[in-house]
Chain A
Amino acid sequence: MLKVTNLSVSLDGEAIFENINFEIKKGENLAIIGPNGSGKTVLLKTLLGFFPYEGEIKWAENARIGYVPQKIEADRHLPIDLENLINAKAAVLGLEKSGVKTVIESAKITEKILKTPIGHLSGGQFQRALIAFALLGRPTIMLLDEPTASIDQLGEEQIYELINELQEKYGITIILVSHDLSVVYRYATKVLCLNKTGICFGPPESALTPEVFKKLYGEKHKYVHHHESHA
């Protein structure tokens, strides 16, 4: 689905990360972890083609990308609801109405969420709206940047369950930036540790060693298997 070789990105003369290598196959779930400022968001945006880079990013020919950005500070005064956004995207991509309806149902979007101004949605509703927006156009791979960063634990559970469900139902490949290690152990088939360069890559059980954590978060970090949030 995606192969990244020796990927380096510099912005305004400053190296964000260097020599990243990883590969993800169809239907896999790749988690990207790392401390703040390690380049996770820049990596996702580079995959999307927002930034110039060195190295190689090779997508499968049939790859269609859906993107769920980090929490957007939606303007509360914007008179735009999810229905406006979904219709706008459907029009830009030339999608049919039936496809739009399927997406709304599979992302569990209610009529009320559709018609509420986007800035007035709760954290969980907002993230679900972003996922629905990303699902339009039937992506084969979804890039999610900390989709639960600003919502409570219950909402978080629901979002991850939704992502998992979509993955099982449509076979969508997932790349997920997360702070939450319990999520990584539960859902990810592979993990990429990032801190200016690739520290680890592989299945979480074998890739996430105490040494890796030390390299990733420094000496002070306590290595706790499972159920650690906001490392």
Chain B
Amino acid sequence: MLNETYSIVLAIFAASAAGLVGAFALMKKTVLAGDVMSHVAIPGIGLAFIWQTNPLIGGALTLFLGAFVISRLEHRTTLSSEAAIGVIFAASVALGALLINSEEELIDALFGGFGKLSRGEFIFGIVSSILIVAALWVLRNKLIISLFSKDLAASIGINVRVLNFLFLLLFSLAILLGLRFLGALLAGALIIVPASAARQLSHSLGLFLALSMFLSILSIVLGFVISSAYGLDLGPTIVVVASAIFAFSLLKKKN
């Protein structure tokens, strides 16, 4: 088991990945779907408790399954994908609550915790964070064009469907990284809230992306400091800090 310093280092890496994913998610307007994604982890965490394995492994299982299902639904025209996503959300929370028996475990699943950080988890977290940032850097040009127009993207040979699926996978991975600190209810918040604040404060794309990462890291670091100073739960503290930053960002009037 590793000490608190490792936790903070991992949290900073995870926050930068979440901030960057959040910036693109905000531009793609997949914010709502993103929020639902984190809930999909709950039944997986429940299964992991039953199998007595690492809850994050169970969370990963249902998250990636969820990414696959949502991406399929997005391409069906007969059923409103938003409605379908809503059903998946409700079913996930309900199924998770049935699978998780102890109240303490349920709180962990919803708000984060999961005991001490293991070496394997730390390495996985750092590698995944770097992978997310690197992948978004590589995909950024294609994402930018498809954000503007899917038709234009397709006309220059970009496979928009594959691109969207890759993005959803990266999004799921970012959620997974946030699960330890924030739990399934709040993991989406670290992706969405700092990006929303950054959007208020920036005009150009470069600044927006950088600021989104920075505010996400700031939320996590301040969250750690405040929660340990006042003996508060880490996950909710981080989200309250991020939300406060967002509230301040609203004060700034854009030209």
Contacts and interface: CB of A to CB of B under 8 A. Distances in A.
Interface string A24-62: 000000000000000000000100101000000000000
Interface stretch (B14-22, B149-157, B166-174): B149-157
A65 B147 contact: no
B147 A80 contact: yes
Nearest to B27: A78
B141 A88 contact: yes
Interface residues of A, number: 28
B203 A79 contact: yes
Nearest to B198: A79
**B-side interface mostly:** helix
B144 A79 contact: no
Contact of B154 (A48, A80, A118): A48
Given A79-B27, A79-B202, A79-B208, A50 B151 contact: yes
A74 B157 CA distance: 21
B204 A81 contact: yes
A69 B205 contact: no
A67 B140 contact: no
Contacts of B221: none
Nearest to A65: B155
A69 B151 contact: yes
A224 B141 CA distance: 47
B204 A72 contact: no
Contact of B144 (A48, A72, A84, A130): A84
A72 B203 CA distance: 21
Interface in A76-112: 77-81, 84-85, 87-89, 91-93
A74 B149 CA distance: 8
Contacts of B202: 79
B158 interface: yes
A72 B149 contact: yes
A12 B203 CA distance: 41
Contact of A78 (B148, B155, B157): B148
B205 A81 contact: yes
B158 A92 contact: yes
B205 A93 contact: no
Interface of A: 12, 45, 48, 50, 65, 67, 69, 72, 74-75, 77-81, 84-85, 87-89, 91-93, 117-118, 130, 133, 137
13 contacts: A50-B151, A67-B152, A69-B152, A78-B148, A79-B199, A80-B148, A85-B148, A87-B141, A88-B141, A88-B145, A89-B145, A92-B141, A117-B203
Interface of B: 27, 29, 77, 140-142, 144-145, 147-149, 151-152, 154-158, 199, 202-205, 208
